[in-house]
Amino acid sequence: MKFFLDTANIAEIREAVELGVLDGVTTNPSLMAKEGVRGVDSILGHYRHICEIVDGDVSAEVIATDYSGIIREGEVLADLHPNIVVKVPMIRDGVKAIRYFSDKGIKTNCTLVFSAGQALLAAKAGATYVSPFVGRLDDIGADGLQLVEQIVQIYGNYGYETQVLAASVRHVPHLIQCAEIGADVVTCPLSVILGLLNHPLTDKGLATFLADYAKVNA
């Protein structure tokens, strides 16, 4: 399973790269705004900066919601760096644009997916990734992981090559369950990846080993 970091924060991206477990990055307009990145030139520069740090796919989201606008923005983004994946919302013109990008060999991430039907459309349009939002479904009392499971099964039934990128992954159990289900990728904050390190028996065991070593090597 690939680990993507869901952030536009350069320091966090560097930290994950240094840990040696990062396969890519996803961003969205809210995450870019959180970092104070504004204006077209700064936004494009920020994406380029992320691509220079990460050896893997970097999702950059279009703002346009009409077909020609999505194509225009997507082509500018794709030209920035070979690692760029054009992130396109699951809307009618978005599906059309994904087909266009796919035919041109431009990688896409179909975002804001909340149903199996939407995921089926994304795969048929040739999306590279489909992003079901686990946490946001849980937020409204639905079952986000069940959707991931459904998509994995449907794609398996027909051999679709679109990768299931579980998004809006908020905590360690989400990530582990995505791995059990067979999601191809999870994208989450750095805290979730670092959370995988934790077990009290590891801490206790290490303390004992170090204390026993110190007793005879003082």
Using CB under 6 A as the binding rule, whether residue 28 contacts ligand E4P is answered as: yes
* Interface with ligand E4P (CB under 6 A), residue from 118, 131, 162, 177: 131
Using CB under 6 A as the binding rule, whether residue 6 contacts ligand E4P is answered as: yes
Amino acid (1-letter code) at residue 80: L
Q: Which is nearer to ligand E4P, 191 or 202 (CB)?
A: 191
87 is catalytic: yes
Contact assessment for residue 59 and residue 27, using Cβ atoms and an 8 Å cutoff: yes
Catalytic-role residue among 2, 34, 87, 107: 87
Using CB under 6 A as the binding rule, whether residue 135 contacts ligand E4P is answered as: yes
**x/- string (CB under 6 A) for ligand E4P, residues 172-191?**
---------------x----
| Least Å from the CB of residue 26 to ligand E4P | 4
Own/partner pairs, 98-106, CB within 8 angstroms, 24+ separation: 98/122, 98/125, 98/126, 98/127, 99/125, 99/126, 100/71, 101/71, 101/74, 102/126, 102/127, 102/128, 106/74, 106/75, 106/78
d(CA 10, CA 98): 28
Footprint of ligand E4P (CB under 6 A): 6, 26, 28, 111, 131, 133, 135-136, 167-168, 170, 187
Residues annotated as catalytic are 87
